[in-house]
Amino acid sequence: MSTSAGLLGALAAVTAVEWVAATLALGYLLLAIRQSAWCWSFAIASALLYLVVFARSGLYMQTALQVFYAAMAVYGWRTWSGTRDDAPIAITRWPARHHVLAWSAIVIVAAVSGALIAHQAADGWVPYLDAAIAWGSVLATWMVTRKILENWLYWIVLDAAMVALAAWQGLAATALLFTLYTLLAIRGYWQWRRDERARATQPAGQVTDWPAAEARVREALAAHAETAELAQAVLSPIDISLSNYAWSAHAGQRKRFVRLARPGTEEFGADLAAEARILHRVGEVGISPPVVLCDPSRRLLVTHWIEPVGEPSSFAEPAVVVTVGQALARLHALPVPRDLRVVRFDAQARMLEASLPATAYGSELLACANEMFARLDAAPTPLVLCHHDLHAENLLFDADDRLWLVDWEYAGLNDPVFDLASFASQCGLPDTATRALCAAYVQAGGVVDESRLELARWAFDYVEWLWYQGWSAAPNEGRGLREGARRAARIESSLRERASALLRCNNRGFSQY
């Protein structure tokens, strides 16, 4: 009998179940190359049918593998589609050491499991090849669910081996399918590689949603040895910031905080290069979480994770106010870094005003702001290291009631009164709590004029108001647009209420607290 006749005879003997399973498996692969999450529904159906096919053929490892395939297909659907809390993942790569460990493990477990089932096969080499393909496929399937580029290289090897195994067992349709699989795996590798490069060259300004942000941050993590492991970690979004994307990253027993600065934050006063210098200093003294990696060029920050115990019921609570006052006194007492940027809130205001139409802020508030800044400049104080953005999300209390200050991209040298103003304004402190804050700050070694603090609070709110107006006018996601406009409206109302009374009261001059 000729080879072609034998092949036709083998194809004629293929059962309907095997044909349907093979067709569904082919559909899975074609959709996977296109990175369509629908591929996983085809994978589930194909795995359930192949379970029957391989069980009848005595390929026990392949039979067990189908159960795993079905389970991983469910997991793959979730990771590729994303949920309300998790963004879809992007293509990443493995470092070489991961591949060495992976193949070493495959060889060991295949030798052990192949030996255990060798007595069930007529040919001594079959169970070993069966086991090697099975264990390699376990790993490669997981790599697909995590969109690791090299999964296709694994499949090229595994599919070619499966062609030989299926042909030996008389599974002609499956042998042909895996021949096609081998060719498509080659295509899949080059297609994913092109997609990866296209995403890597995407302008930073186009990163305006969570899926694109996660793609960018995984690429940035993979570029550094210190964070390469996190590129494959589970990233859980922390959607609390208008100017940053943030995640908690779980890698083994370790948990890390990962942040990707949104594009354009420099136009609103952020300085990521200055933040990198500051973070190492404040991290060393325990004011901020220890830094794992800070790469301003990739807009990436990774720090140790601080497990918060939840926000206080009110930041005006006496214990909270005292803790913040003491922490700020400690921060302001640090040696002043050389050549660090000086942050002037009047200059920040001018920059933000220039980016907005004159009708956005009006002559009345502009004149009031000029007067406020002039009065503050009339009594200058030595410059110290300031945080400048002390809202509730940047103040973390751990289980030991220790306070950590996070997100330092707006930090720099300034009058220390603006840090007190930032906390008092953004956390809505009433007069009694503000006085307690000043008392705790002074007791810890700081110096503050209480009446000057009131001027600084108004000036800080003015700059923050301009910031939110500018942010709501910039290209942003829906939440950023709505939230920026809401906060701007709330602050404007407060500014107008306080302006005339504050200027009238401060004609008396400053009083030392």
- Domain spans, the chain: 3-199, 225-283, 309-508
Number of other CB atoms surrounding residue 303 within 10 Å: 20
DSSP string, 172-195: HHHHHHHHHHHHHHHHHHHHHHHH
Rounded Cα gap, residues 151 and 139, in angstroms = 9
Q: What is the pLDDT of residue 10?
A: 52
**pLDDT tens digits for 23-51?**
898 888 888 888 888 889 999 999 999 88
Rounded Cα gap, residues 95 and 25, in angstroms = 29
Domain 309-508 in this protein, CATH class: alpha beta
* Low-confidence winner among 79-83, 124-128, 254-258, 308-312 (lowest mean pLDDT): 79-83
Mean pLDDT for the chain?
82
Question: Does the structure show a pLDDT above 80 at 373?
Answer: yes
The three-state (H, E, C) secondary structure of 62-75, written as one string: HHHHHHHHHHHHHH
* Low-confidence winner among 6-20, 63-77, 126-140, 179-193 (lowest mean pLDDT): 6-20
CB 143 within 8 A of CB 151: yes
The mean pLDDT of 445-471, rounded to a whole number, is 88
Question: Does the structure show a pLDDT above 50 at 510?
Answer: no
DSSP designation for 231: G
Question: Does the structure show a pLDDT above 50 at 207?
Answer: no
**pLDDT tens digits for 102-146?**
899 989 988 888 777 766 555 667 788 888 888 898 899 899 988
Phi, psi of 250 (to 5 degrees): -110, 115
Structure tokens at 171: 């599974």
**pLDDT tens digits for 158-177?**
999 989 888 877 777 678 87
Structure tokens at 1: 């009998």
CB 209 within 8 A of CB 239: no
**pLDDT tens digits for 60-105?**
777 888 888 889 888 888 777 654 334 456 677 888 888 889 899 9
Higher pLDDT, 366 or 420: 420
Conformation bin of residue 412: beta by default, left when phi > 0, alpha when psi is -120 to 50: left
Strand partners, 12: none
Q: How confident is the model at residue 445 (pLDDT cuts 50, 70, 90)?
A: very high
Q: What is the pLDDT of residue 513?
A: 35
The mean pLDDT of 472-492, rounded to a whole number, is 63
The mean pLDDT of 374-395, rounded to a whole number, is 91
DSSP designation for 256: E
Number of other CB atoms surrounding residue 80 within 10 Å: 20
Q: What is the pLDDT of residue 87?
A: 46
Using alpha carbons only, give the angle 76, 80, 81 rounded to the nearest 5 degrees: 115
Question: Does the structure show a pLDDT above 60 at 356?
Answer: yes
Structure tokens at 308: 């918060």
- Alpha helix ranges (H) inside 333-361: 345-354
Number of other CB atoms surrounding residue 185 within 10 Å: 24
Q: What is the pLDDT of residue 440?
A: 96
Q: How confident is the model at residue 355 (pLDDT cuts 50, 70, 90)?
A: confident
